[in-house]
């Protein structure tokens, strides 16, 4: 097969350049559509909003199309043609970013930026991650507690270890791969002193008369009661601590009964700082999942941590 004629190739390149708007204008347009307004886009791009407006006008003049609906407040709405164009431009810019990141990534890169559910990070992982580092001394680990998933497309993190409530479970995007690494039972726990000073508990419904500790809302307790056949419980009083590890800390101090999964509370259970308030059938409300970009799944550091994590969880569960 003969090589392309250099003259033809040069002609094609000139035609492509002639059909490509200025990159700065495209970037400004993508930011306006994604951020929902010119001022928000300017803040995201760290440039003056007047510059964003000039880029938008230049792009509209270049294409000969009206891309921004300027009739509404904020001038952030896209026209029908603008929305269709924005979808394709956003995908193209995301691909450029990923291609550049892959180019800059060394083949022997062993850096691992891991985002972890805060409770698991503080109560379980932080005390064990030294084992992983001893076995993998070349891995550069960055551990960040977070309740929100990273923007993998923006390369915010390499992997995310998080808890998914069954009622909120959704299939991950095609660009990501996710596996379940643990499905621990959810237990009603309190300090031995609290248990000794509260009337005996024989049924799950008995807990409605006790001091219950909540995370952001009483939804977890409501799901737990529902799994035990206790329905129509109404409002469930008790202080809210917004994070699972904070409810555990309050429970250790004898302030009430907390719900926690057996993995998160494993150290407290082993040490006797916390104990189940009664022997109830196991309830499962969700699972811990490990998620990473599909094209990065077998990267050295990610694969090594995933194997270690599965082994550490199995040892803890056993």
Q: Which residue has the higher pLDDT, 223 or 15?
A: 223
Average pLDDT over residues 86-93: 89
pLDDT of residue 21: 86
pLDDT of residue 105: 58
Residue 263 has pLDDT above 90, yes or no: yes
Name, in order, each residue with C-beta under 8 angstroms of 164's C-beta and a sequence gap of 6 or more.
Answer: 286, 287, 288, 289
Residue 12 has pLDDT above 90, yes or no: no
pLDDT of residue 273: 96
Listed range (54-68, 90-104, 142-156, 173-187) with the worst mean pLDDT: 90-104
Query: Is 0.75 surpassed by the pTM of this model?
Result: no
On whether the CB atoms of residues 119 and 243 are closer than 8 A, the answer is yes
Buried-exposed string 267-306: b where 16+ CB fall within 10 A, e elsewhere: bbbeeeebbbbeebeebebbbbbbbbbeebbebbbbebbb
C-alpha dist (Å) from residue 145 to 98, 120, 125, 214, 244: 24, 9, 11, 20, 13
CA distance 114 to 292: 10
CA distance 177 to 156: 16
Residue 256 has pLDDT above 90, yes or no: yes
Strand duo 111-116 + 159-165: pairing: parallel
pLDDT tens digit sequence for 168-211: 888 888 899 999 999 999 999 999 999 999 999 999 999 999 99
On whether the CB atoms of residues 291 and 150 are closer than 8 A, the answer is no
Question: Would you place residue 49 in the very low, low, confident or very high pLDDT band (cuts 50, 70, 90)?
Answer: confident
CA distance 11 to 278: 79
Residue 26 has pLDDT above 80, yes or no: yes
Provide the mean pLDDT of the chain: 87
On whether the CB atoms of residues 236 and 207 are closer than 8 A, the answer is no
Q: Is the dihedral of CA 143, 144, 148, 154 positive or negative?
A: negative
Question: Would you place residue 245 in the very low, low, confident or very high pLDDT band (cuts 50, 70, 90)?
Answer: confident
């Amino acid at each position: 097969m003969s090589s392309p004629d250099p003259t033809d190739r040069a002609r094609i390149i000139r035609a492509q350049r002639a059909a490509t708007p200025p990159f700065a204008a495209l970037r400004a347009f993508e930011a306006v559509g994604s951020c929902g307004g010119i001022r928000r886009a300017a803040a995201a791009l760290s440039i003056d909003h007047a510059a964003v407006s000039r880029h938008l006008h230049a792009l509209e003049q270049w294409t000969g199309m009206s891309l921004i609906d300027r009739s509404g407040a904020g001038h952030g709405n896209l026209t029908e043609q603008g929305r269709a164009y924005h979808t394709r431009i956003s995908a193209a810019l995301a691909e450029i970013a990923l291609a550049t990141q892959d180019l800059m990534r060394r083949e022997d890169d062993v850096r691992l930026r891991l985002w972890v559910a805060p409770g698991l990070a503080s109560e379980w992982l932080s005390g064990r991650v030294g084992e992983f580092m001893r076995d993998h001394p070349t891995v550069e680990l960055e551990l960040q507690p977070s309740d929100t998933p990273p923007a993998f497309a923006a390369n915010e993190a390499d992997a995310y270890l998080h808890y998914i409530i069954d009622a909120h479970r959704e299939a991950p995007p095609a660009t990501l791969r996710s596996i379940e690494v643990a499905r621990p039972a959810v237990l009603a726990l309190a300090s031995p002193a609290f248990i000794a000073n509260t009337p005996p508990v024989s049924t799950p419904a008995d807990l409605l008369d006790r001091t219950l500790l909540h995370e952001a809302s009483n939804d977890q307790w409501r799901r737990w009661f529902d799994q035990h056949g206790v329905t129509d419980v109404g409002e469930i009083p008790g202080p809210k601590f917004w994070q699972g590890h904070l409810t555990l800390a309050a429970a250790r101090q004898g302030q009430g009964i907390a719900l926690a999964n057996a993995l998160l509370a494993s150290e407290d259970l082993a040490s006797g700082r916390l104990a189940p308030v009664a022997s109830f059938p196991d309830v499962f409300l969700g699972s811990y999942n490990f998620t990473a970009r599909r094209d990065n799944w077998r990267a050295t550091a990610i694969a090594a941590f995933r194997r270690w994590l599965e082994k550490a969880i199995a040892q803890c569960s056993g």
